[in-house]
Amino acid sequence: MAFHFARPEGFNFRPGQTIDITLLDPPETDAEGNTRTFSIASAPSDHHLMIATRVRDSAFKRVLSKASPGLDLKIEGPGGDFTLHRKTEKPAVFLAGGIGITPFLSMVRHTAHEKTNQQLYLFYSNRHPEDAAFLDLLTETARQHPDIHLIATMTEMENSHREWNGEAGHIDKQMLTRHLPSLAGPTFYVAGPPKMVTALRNMLIAASVDEDDIRAEEFPGY
């Protein structure tokens, strides 16, 4: 689910940053508490703030999923340094798994809005298209902006009811080399479940990518 919030006056952020959201006096709570950290999925040019999350069975997520306008909450931030590098002549390669797409959605939409002509390559892995949040929006954005390259891949198409003509299988060195001019040169950004982030980071290092060119953000499933 995606959630949209009124953007506080004067609130500025860089694509890829996070906010802490605290529910104030919620109707229910549990041992996990009333605060969560989310990547900002909206772009800095948007008039609202958006987050997106898998809805788990926790008090926080139940309250959020049933919320209506007027919900009292506190937003703290922005924070984090998982942000797009400023040298637009240096390509960026995004490796996203599942809801790890949220910081990259902000980066992609900001780049499209600013028309920086920076080369972005987004590899986006999901089990099947039904699971792929914002896939249609990203596909349309890439179609309109030739400097933004979307490579979506599905790992369990046998469980899907939709047709798929794109990549299949997990992101690996072979998939990267099919779509990238070179593995040397870009900055790589990895976001998704912890096991996926670790595996992709190790894969990049084994492929001789400079560790200084790898940035990672884990999305634990809370």
In a domain, 87, yes or no: no
pLDDT along the chain (222 residues), means of 10: 94 97 94 94 97 91 92 94 94 96 97 95 96 96 97 94 93 97 96 94 96 90 50
In a domain, 180, yes or no: yes
In a domain, 85, yes or no: no
Please give the Cα distance from 186 to 55 (Å, whole number).
34
* 127-180 confidence digits (pLDDT tens): 999 989 999 999 999 999 999 999 999 999 998 998 999 999 999 999 999 999
What residues form DSSP beta bridges with 168?
Answer: 154
114 shares a domain with 65: no
HSE of 182, CA atoms in CB hemisphere, 13 A: 6
DSSP 30: -
CATH number reported for the structural domain that contains residue 194 in this entry: 3.40.50.80
214 shares a domain with 121: yes
158 shares a domain with 62: no
Identify the residue whose tokens are 């926080």: 60
In a domain, 28, yes or no: yes
- Could you tell me if 63 and 28 are in contact, meaning their C-beta atoms sit under 8 angstroms apart? yes
In a domain, 161, yes or no: yes
CB count within 10 Å of CB 99 equals: 22
Give residue 48's domain range.
2-79
